Chains A and B, each alone.
Chain A
Amino acid sequence: MSATEPRTELDVAVEVNGEPRRARVEARRSLAELLRDDLELTGTHLGCEHGVCGSCTVLLDGVPVRSCLMLAVQAEGRSVVTVEGLADGDRLHPVQQGCLERHSFQCGFCTPGILLTAAALLDAQPEPDEAAVREAISGNICRCTGYESIVDGILRAAEIAREAADGHAGEGA
């Protein structure tokens, strides 16, 4: 990566879900392809490959980005969180738990991008209202649900996170 000559194949080192990972990739490989094909983290989905649908959204240094609109080599030295990295062992992340409780999803294809977008939202804004949730996920297309159940799941996640922060168990009813 420190090469000063343009190369068509490069080594890339990225922290993914807390673990250092390395791969040798074509320059044209997207971050999404690095995750899916080289690192076998297939939870990240490609829904359009031109940056509109949001299915491929991951966290880059804590903020959501489109992994189809980023080259793998651009992630050199950065930290990436994918849907596989949201849960803490067997304990679901609040957005996963909230979406489970509210039947948020149907086919599951847009799900990874929405979960990570929601996780970043709650990080930045722990008590969002419905309008803030809708705005936050407006770059993520879901074709199944009509969004209402997803909005409810994220609002429930905020409650779960608050309950956990207040020292209550976050398992919910």
Chain B
Amino acid sequence: MVARLVGSSVARVEDPRILTGRGHYLDDVRLPGMLHAAFVRSPFPHAAVLGIDVTEALQVPGVRAVITIDDLDRVAGPLVPAGPPDLLVAPFPALARDRVRLVGDPVAVVLADSRAEAEDGVEAVEVDYDPLPGVGDMDDVLAGGTELVFPELGDNVLHRSTHRYGDTDAAFATAHRVVSARLDQHRHANVPMECRGIVAAFDPAAGTLEVQAAHQSPHALRMHLADVLGIPAHAVRVRCGDIGGSFGQKFGLSHEEVAIAGASVLVGRPVKWIEDRSENLMVGGQAREERVDVEAAVDPEGRILGLRVRMVMDQGAYPKVGYPATGYLSIVRALLPAAYRIDDIDFESVIVASNKATYVPYRGPWEIETWARERLLDLVARELGIDPVDVRERNLLTSADFPRASATGVELLGFDPRRTFDDTVDLLDLDAFRARQAAARAEGRLVGIGLANVVEPAPVTPSLIRAMGIMAAPRTVQEARARLELDGSVTVFTSQMPHGQSHETTLAQLTADQLGVGIDRVRVVHGDTRDTPFNLVGTGGSRAATLASGAVVGVARRVRDRVLEVASQLMEIDPADLDLVDGSVVARGAPGVSTPLAEIGRLAWVRPGLANADGRPGIEETATFDSAEGTWSVATHACEVEIDPETGLVRVDRYVVVGDCGAVINPAVVDGQVRGGVVQGIGAVLLERSAYDREAQFLSSTFMDHLLPTALDVPRIEVHHVHHEPTDEINFRGVGEGGAIGAPAALTSAIEDALAHLGVRVTEQFLPPVRILELIDAATGA
């Protein structure tokens, strides 16, 4: 069949409602009798809670109830994080029992007739705190003696492990030189434009809990809530409508979700909590606070012979239920060599606790593997006086190396990193840039160029899962269900939970092409645990393009086969001689002989025995799809910057991405994902920081403190595609994360390039203007 929709920028199915103000986001939910919740939150990073007095709060006009852990204990158990045996984790209550562990830690919930009145009530709750020393610095934790965040765990160092690949000692013994660096990445956050939230409606008569939420994984939320609240799963339903972005944040199970659902159970009324922006910046979830100490053994040409790496992450106070902290390090470890020939690696992993917000996955949670590696390559280049582009070229794998098992055991196939790299270098016209750079320097101007190579598992492959050491069964398999309706239209049920990714469009494109119908004859249903196939991840991990697409194509084909079987009975023509074209089943070679899909749909449902031998009515099928090796989405990022030597302001003048994400379902959607990710990565370097002081007092709880890029802060992002030979028929690969992974590396590379002649070496990712000038001063002795 000729593909009609896949491959073209079909207009988004979501847009007619989104562009007219008729989307349905969580804060738009209104239920009869609904109360509004606001949280009493700790102002201290760390404190004992000696007492909570709600008497005065209950007198505040509009306040209906104040719920503390003593109340919640009657209906909810603790949140129980999981993890491997070598990770220290402890269960914790949804509201503080005797201790608060971060600024914003929830202590009580006030329920009122309006949110404003609930906030009035919050101000009237008296909490008696006895402050404890706050832990806000990983070096303090590693030095020992910090106040324990969870005394029952006995340590603030929660995990240590070492993995060795190859023979690193031998590699270092032959080294021409050893280049070492401490590379620091700062804590920042996902910051979706819509904050988190939940509306929980417990019906005391029916014993049912109906939850609406802004959440990436409705099935996971349902599973966790049923578990913590002890409500039978058959009585718990979770629905998600339009979601205003997430980038990994609306995931797993949070304190607030348990507290609000529990509050609804306690009062027997619907309860709504919409996180406000300060709460979101404070406790919505943060990421990326990681350090890599690296030593590289190199030969005289800048080839990496071996690496010794120690990675430390500050996971904050509470672990995320649904994502063990070791997962952040193990994927960095497994992916570190990526597209480069690095065979000997020692990798030490350390996780520390602090009095900071919960770590959540943020768009490409392993991003530091790219940033640290690309930073290292630049530092090697500077040390040896070789152009950074040449150092990359010398270390990159070539097509002759494929397929290949990386040192860490990851099967690499289905791409050629030299293609995106070479195309990028050509686009940059490097010689001309170096000439411009020399001329600019002569005028006292600072311009630079930077590159980075990204290999994104999109989705994770079986060998990557093995390399990460996840012992549980891979959770990659996806199911889709599809139903031919009475009128020949089609409903597709996906386990994806889109929040900006346009799956209502892309999955409909795939279905429509398989069934020979227009996109308006297909509806993609998501977000209701009562209807959609089970999946613990929902949307995340750049999984939809391959896994959801594979499942949808598979199920659409089954529907198609069933349609042709039914048509064959009706038309008395062999199915092999039938085709689906423009909404009808037609006889091949005899276009006049046809039966409309609407007729097949109607008869399949209403005529007993037609569709199924066992008498089941209708055509409704399911299919699954699992990941295979080779689903890599690769890209080379490059950017040009100019830095104002007087102010330290960095302007990104050009940004280029050359990527290979396999076949493209909807180019506009793909390019939008890439561009959005790149801009988040630019923001990470220049603007965004979740700031704490050394005692973990939180400093950036408004949008005046936590800055995001605006339309004036970023250039056009040039996106180019190359296509490697497909490894599988389903050759669509994810692109959700690569943009955000490549940009910090390419941008810091360019910044260093602009300043390298002054002696500046960039070993930190956050480079606000004040820091740029400090680096220049330090290098030049000014």
| A145 to B668 alpha-carbon distance, docked (Å) | 11
Residue A87 CB within 8 A of the other chain: yes
Q: Mark interface residues in A72-101 (1 if CB within 8 Å of B CB, else 0).
A: 000000000011101100001000100111
Partner of B19, one of A36, A105, A141: A105
Residue B768 CB within 8 A of the other chain: no
Stretch at the interface among B243-251, B454-462, B750-758: B243-251
Does B28 contact A143, Cβ atoms closer than 8 Å? no
Tell me the smallest distance from the CB of A95 to a CB of chain B, in Å: 9
Tell me the smallest distance from the CB of A88 to a CB of chain B, in Å: 11
Given A50-B703, A53-B193, A115-B19; A106-B277 close (CB under 8 Å) = no
Partner of B276, one of A43, A49, A96: A49
Does A141 contact B501, Cβ atoms closer than 8 Å? no
Tell me the smallest distance from the CB of B670 to a CB of chain A, in Å: 10
Interface of B is mostly: loop
Does B676 contact A45, Cβ atoms closer than 8 Å? no
Does A84 contact B714, Cβ atoms closer than 8 Å? no
Does B243 contact A42, Cβ atoms closer than 8 Å? no
Does B245 contact A147, Cβ atoms closer than 8 Å? no
Residue B327 CB within 8 A of the other chain: no
Partner of B277, one of A49, A83, A138, A143: A49
Does B717 contact A148, Cβ atoms closer than 8 Å? yes
Residue B678 CB within 8 A of the other chain: yes
Residue B617 CB within 8 A of the other chain: no
Does A107 contact B710, Cβ atoms closer than 8 Å? no
Does A52 contact B672, Cβ atoms closer than 8 Å? no
Does B501 contact A106, Cβ atoms closer than 8 Å? yes
By beta carbon, the residue of chain B nearest A103 is: B668
Contacts of A164 in B (CB 8 A): none
By beta carbon, the residue of chain B nearest A136 is: B711
Interface residues of B in 694-726 (CB under 8 A from A): 702-704, 708, 710-712, 714, 716-717
Contacts of B502 in A (CB 8 A): 106
Which of the listed residues B15, B19, B23 has the most CB atoms from chain A within 10 Å of its own CB? Answer: B19
Interface residues of A in 104-162 (CB under 8 A from B): 105-112, 115, 133-135, 137-151
Given A52-B703, A53-B703, A148-B717; A109-B194 close (CB under 8 Å) = yes
Which of the listed residues A49, A137, A147 has the most CB atoms from chain B within 10 Å of its own CB? Answer: A147
| A84 to B702 alpha-carbon distance, docked (Å) | 29
Does B703 contact A142, Cβ atoms closer than 8 Å? no
Stretch at the interface among B6-14, B150-158, B258-266, B629-637: B6-14
Does A143 contact B675, Cβ atoms closer than 8 Å? no
Residue B589 CB within 8 A of the other chain: no
Interface residues of B in 21-75 (CB under 8 A from A): 21-23, 25, 27-28
Partner of A109, one of B25, B671, B672: B25
| A46 to B703 alpha-carbon distance, docked (Å) | 13
Given A48-B703, A52-B702; A146-B21 close (CB under 8 Å) = no
Residue A41 CB within 8 A of the other chain: yes
By beta carbon, the residue of chain B nearest A110 is: B193
Which of the listed residues A55, A99, A106 has the most CB atoms from chain B within 10 Å of its own CB? Answer: A106
By beta carbon, the residue of chain B nearest A150 is: B711
| A135 to B501 alpha-carbon distance, docked (Å) | 27
Does A83 contact B11, Cβ atoms closer than 8 Å? no
Contacts of B195 in A (CB 8 A): 47
Does B676 contact A146, Cβ atoms closer than 8 Å? yes
Chain B contact residues, CB within 8 Å of chain A: 9, 11-12, 14-16, 18-23, 25, 27-28, 116, 191-195, 242-245, 247, 276-277, 499-502, 668-669, 671-672, 675-680, 702-704, 708, 710-712, 714, 716-717
Other 12 A-B pairs with CB < 8 A, given A87-B20, A109-B245: A26-B116, A36-B28, A46-B27, A52-B704, A84-B20, A84-B22, A96-B20, A107-B194, A142-B711, A143-B245, A145-B675, A148-B716
Chain A contact residues, CB within 8 Å of chain B: 26, 28-29, 36, 41-50, 52-53, 55, 82-84, 86-87, 92, 96, 99-103, 105-112, 115, 133-135, 137-151
CB<8 Å pairs between A and B, sample of 21: A36-B28, A42-B28, A45-B25, A47-B277, A48-B702, A52-B704, A96-B19, A100-B11, A105-B19, A106-B676, A107-B243, A112-B21, A140-B711, A142-B711, A143-B192, A143-B680, A144-B672, A146-B677, A147-B679, A147-B711, A151-B711
Closest 5 CB pairs between A and B? A43-B21, A109-B244, A107-B500, A108-B18, A83-B21
